[in-house]
Structure 1
């Protein structure tokens, strides 16, 4: 039951409000193409920034440090557009680990630029809890 409560908390309890970018889909496309003309990208809404507790898994933390990534992912309940067509409009997505965060709405992994449209929330979760939702 504890595991179910942790997952429910991640999805349904309040988090720290985080602003995303407040633009139309067309404007978001223009922004990403202008700034990252050769990168794959995904526009998302209804998103949660999840900080992962990796303090108990030293090997995982060492690997993230070695690859210049940070223990954070985005879970978005709504894909608006994916340039690689991995997900359809309306699908959910969970990113890989954060590589770089810019301008308060550009979440970059090693493979993809995610544009965070609209406001979201920030939460903290264990790797085990995150693994239970996918």
Structure 2
């Protein structure tokens, strides 16, 4: 099962998704916005991003929602700015599961708000395939 999940993860990462648009605001405007709306929370401005919607059983979706999460993840190929210095400019990053997704570009996890800048896409994949990328 694990090999199948890893292969499925590779397939969804290399496939084309549904085009989406993030924010077109300047970096400075986005910094002000995220600091106002999410005070005291770290943020990461990213480009070339993909929202991955998990396909899961009803039971797994119930568990996800009970824990206050949404079945969404972000993978970004380019970090522009990380407010806490965890990720260097130009590096890639992947999120944990979302707790909110606002205005089409503010992707919040428990610890970080990922600010989706510019164009990206959205894909769906089995939850097990997504989680195989975290092992």
**Greater alpha carbon shift after TM alignment, 112-121 vs 1-10:** 1-10
1:94-119: CA deviations, max 9, x gaps? 11111111111101112111100011
SS at match of 2:69: coil
- Answering whether residue 38 of structure 2 is matched by residue 36 of structure 1, we say yes
Gaps of 5+ in 1: none
Match of 1:45 in 2: 47
Partner of 2:116: 116
TM-score, normalised via structure 2 length:
0.85
Counterpart of 1:61 in 2: which secondary structure?
A: helix
Q: CA–CA distance in 1 between the matches of 2:75 and 2:116? A: 10
> What's the C-alpha RMSD, in Å, of the aligned pairs?
2.0
- CA displacement at 1:65 relative to structure 2: 1.8
Match of 1:74 in 2: 74
Question: What does the per-residue CA deviation read over 1:77-103, in whole Å, with 9 as the maximum and x for residues that have no partner?
Answer: 111111121111111111111111111
| Separation in structure 1 between the aligned mates of residue 118 and residue 96 of structure 2, nearest angstrom | 20
Paired position in structure 1 for 2:93: 93
TM-score for both structures, normalised by structure 1: 0.85
**Structure 2 equivalent of residue 21 of structure 1:** 23
Deviation of the 1:3 alpha carbon: 5.4
In structure 2, runs of 5+ residues without a counterpart are none
Instruction: Count the aligned residue pairs.
Output: 132
* 2:131 corresponding residue in structure 1: 131
Question: Which has the larger displacement, 30-39 or 43-52?
Answer: 30-39
SS of equivalent residue, structure 1 residue 69? coil
